[in-house]
Structure 1
Amino acid sequence: MFKFIALNLFVLGLSACGGDGDGSGSTPDLSDSDAVYELEFKTNWTAANFATNFPSDRHFSGLIGLTHNSNAKLFEAGTLASNGIVSMAETGAKGTLKAEIEGLQNQGDSHSTVDGGGIPASASSVNLTFGISQDHPLVSVVTMIAPSPDWFTGINSVPLFVDGKWVEELEIQLISYDAGSDSGVTFSSANLATTPRATVTKLTTDRADTDFENGVHAVTSQSIGTFTLKKVN
C-alpha cells in the first residue's frame, strides 16, 4: 500500500503564482548521494504551439520534488492531490509541499528534496542538480503551469537505478495535469473552488478554452515541455 502524502482537506488561501520559495531553489547537499543528476526543463508552451487563449505572461513556478522509494508518491492521476500539490498547482508556492516531503523523509521514504527555479516569461528552460541514492532510486518533480486555475506538469516516480546500474540520460515528454481543486477552464479564469475536490486528471478542456486534451495538444499531441535527466557524477 503506497504511503501517499497526507491529505488534509481544507480550503487553501489563493494568491498569484509565487509565495514561499518559488525562486532559484536551495543548494543541494550531495555528500551522501550515490549519483548526481542534472535536470533540464525545456518548455514548448508558446503562442505558436498552443495558440488558444495563450496567456501573455506564461511562466512556470519553481521546480519542487523529491527522490524516494516505492512507498511514497508525490502525486498520481486518479487520486486526490495533497494540500501541497494543490498549493503548488494553484499558486506556485512550495512551502506546504516541502513540509509534506520532509514528513516522507522523516519516515525514511525519501532521500533528498529536489528544489530549483522556474521558467519566467522571458525564458524557455531551467536547470537544477540533485543527488539520489540506490535506496531511494525514484524521482518526482512538479511545477505550476502559470497562470492557470490549478494546472501543473511534472514527473511521478521515474526510476533512475535500473537493472543494477544508473540511467545515463533520459528525456521525458511531460503531461499536463489538473489538480482537481479549481473548476476554471482557461488560464486566466477567476478562482472557482471545486467542492468536493476531484481527483488529479490529465488536463482536458473544451477546444474553445485551451488546446489541451489528455495532457497534451489535442491536435498535434505536443507536450508542454520536456525533462531531460542526465547523470553527471
Structure 2
Amino acid sequence: MCPLFRALLLFPLLAGLAGCAQEVDSAPEIPTPVVGAALYRVTFEASWSANTHADFPAGAHFSAIIGASHRADGFLFRPGQLASPGIKDMAERGNNTRLRAEISVLQSSGAAFRLLEGRGFSSPGTVADTIRLDATHPRLSLVTMIAPSPDWFAALEDENLLGTDGQWLAERRVPARAYDAGTDSGATFTAPDQVMLPASVIAPLLLPPAAGTAPNGPPLGTWHLERIR
C-alpha cells in the first residue's frame, strides 16, 4: 500500500481519538458539596453539688454562659496562655462586658460567627440556649464562672461539630472542663480577693471530690449539644 494512502486512512482515526481526549479533559468537575448552616440547642447540665465535690460553698451557681461559634483561630482562651481581660472579668466576677466586646472583635475579623449569651443559674441545675454554626465556623466555645470562686470557670473548649464526613453531628455530650484563670491566688471557693502578680497562665483546675479516687474529681456538669435544624 502506498505510504501516502496509508496516512490518509489513519488521519480520521487519529483525529477522532484526539477529539475524545479533548472531551474527557474538558468535562466539568463536580463541585464538592457545601454543607449548610446548622442550629444547635446547647444545654448545660450542672451536677456540681455537695454530693459530688468537697467544700461545696453556700449559694453555689454559674454565671451567665457566654461564647461563640468560630473558626479554628477564633478561640476565646487557651490553656497555657494568659487570660484576656474578658476571661479575667468573667472568671473573677461573672462579668461578661469585656468578653462580649472581645467576641465582637472576633466577629468583625471573621474568626467568630454567632454569639451565645445565656443567664446565670444555681447548681445543680440546667440551662439551655441555641446557637447557629456554619461550615466556616463549625467550632463552639463557651465559658461560665464557677461561683463563688477566686477565678475559676467551666468551659466547653473548641468543640468541632462538623464530622469527618463533612456532615453536622446530630448530638454530642461533653464533660465540662474546669479551669483556673491564673489571675487570683485564692485557694478556696470563698477566699478573699488575692490578685496574682504576675498573673499565671490558664490551667486545669483540680477539684477533689467528696468521694472517689479521680485526681480531679467528677466533672462539674455536662454540655449537651443537639442539632435541631
TM-score interval (norm. to shorter): 0.7 to 0.9
Name the counterpart of 2:218: 222
Output the amino acid matched with 1:63. I
Q: Deviations over 1:17-47 (max 9, x none)?
A: xxxxxxxxxxxxxxxx811000110111111
5+ long unaligned stretches in structure 2: 1-35
Q: Which runs of 5+ in 1 are unaligned?
A: 1-32, 205-209
Using the alignment, how far apart are the partners of 1:92 and 1:106 within structure 2? 24
Does structure 1 conserve the Cα–Cα contact (< 8 Å) formed by 2:208 and 2:217?
Answer: no
Aligned Cα root-mean-square deviation (Å) = 1.8
Q: 1:1-233 counterparts in 2 under 5 A? A: 34-50=37-53, 52-121=54-123, 124-163=125-164, 164-204=166-206, 211=208, 218=214, 221-233=217-229
Match of 2:223, SS state, is strand
Q: 1:194 to 1:177 in 2, by over 3 A?
A: same
The code of the aligned residue for 1:84 comes to G
C-alpha distance in 2, partners of 1:225/1:128? 16
Distance change (3 Å), C-alpha of 1:87 and 1:79: same
Structure 2 letter corresponding to 1:117: R
- By how many angstroms is 1:220 displaced? 7.8
Match of residue 26 from structure 2: none
Change beyond 3 A, Cα 1:220–1:193:
closer
By how many angstroms is 1:119 displaced? 1.7
The one-letter amino acid of 2:52's match is: N
CA deviations on 1:197-219 (whole Å, 9 max, x unpaired) are: 10000113xxxxx526xxx9845
Identity of aligned residues (%): 36
Asked whether the 8 Å contact 1:71–1:109 carries over to 2, the reply is: yes
- For the residues of structure 2 that align with 1:106 and 1:228, how far apart are their CA atoms? 28
Task: From the CA coordinates, give the structure whose radius of gyration is larger.
Answer: 2
Instruction: Show CA shifts across 1:123-174 (max 9, x none).
Output: 5111011111111111100000000000001111110112210010000011
Pairs aligned (count): 191
TM-score of the two chains, using structure 1 as the length reference? 0.78
Q: Given residue 225 of structure 1, which amino acid in structure 2 is its aligned partner?
A: G
Measure, in 1, the Cα distance between the counterparts of 2:103 and 2:222. Answer: 23
